[in-house]
Amino acid sequence: MKILLAVDGSDCSLAAVDEVARRPWPTGSLIKILSVVESPFPQTPETWALPESYYSQLESTATRQAEAAINGAVERLRSNEADRPELTPEIKNGLAKDVILEEAERWGADLIVLGSHGYRGWRRFLLGSVSHAVASHAPCSVEIVRRRGASKGA
């Protein structure tokens, strides 16, 4: 079984990691741990009066956060049992929902596991919902994990 675990380091993402870690997966299963670095600004020819180093620092910070999310997930998954599925960490750039869907298709994932922040109303409208987009368009089964007490922001 091929499991694509999408992580971003948030509490919701950690709940998804814990859910994957607690399960006994079939022998020969593979888990790809994916973290996506999203550009905080659309790429435009205009500089917005900010130095170029500002954007590279933002990207560098986002990459470090993605690495920390992946390393934390790998550590958690490896600490659970000796007989764990093979783990493959990967960081990609792009829009999270698009990258997750493309990677699931390319890799031939049987299951995508990701956390949900539980946004509703205006917060969901403004921030979007990666989990909703993935569940709606995935080429395979999707499990959306919500942590207890997740935000129900309006």
Task: Write the DSSP string, 2-46.
Answer: EEEEE--SSHHHHHHHHHHHHS-PPTT-EEEEEEEE--SS---S-
- pLDDT tens string for the chain (154 positions)? 999 999 998 888 999 999 999 988 999 999 999 999 987 665 556 655 667 677 788 888 889 999 999 999 998 888 766 567 899 999 999 999 999 999 999 999 999 999 987 655 545 444 458 888 899 999 999 999 987 665 554 4
Largest CA-CA distance found in the chain, in angstroms, rounded:
55
8-state DSSP, 150: -
Domains and CATH numbers, the chain: 2-42+53-145 (3.40.50.620)
CA distance 25 to 62: 31
CA distance 89 to 24: 20
Instruction: Report d(CA 60, CA 145) in Å as an integer.
Output: 28
pTM listed for this prediction: 0.82
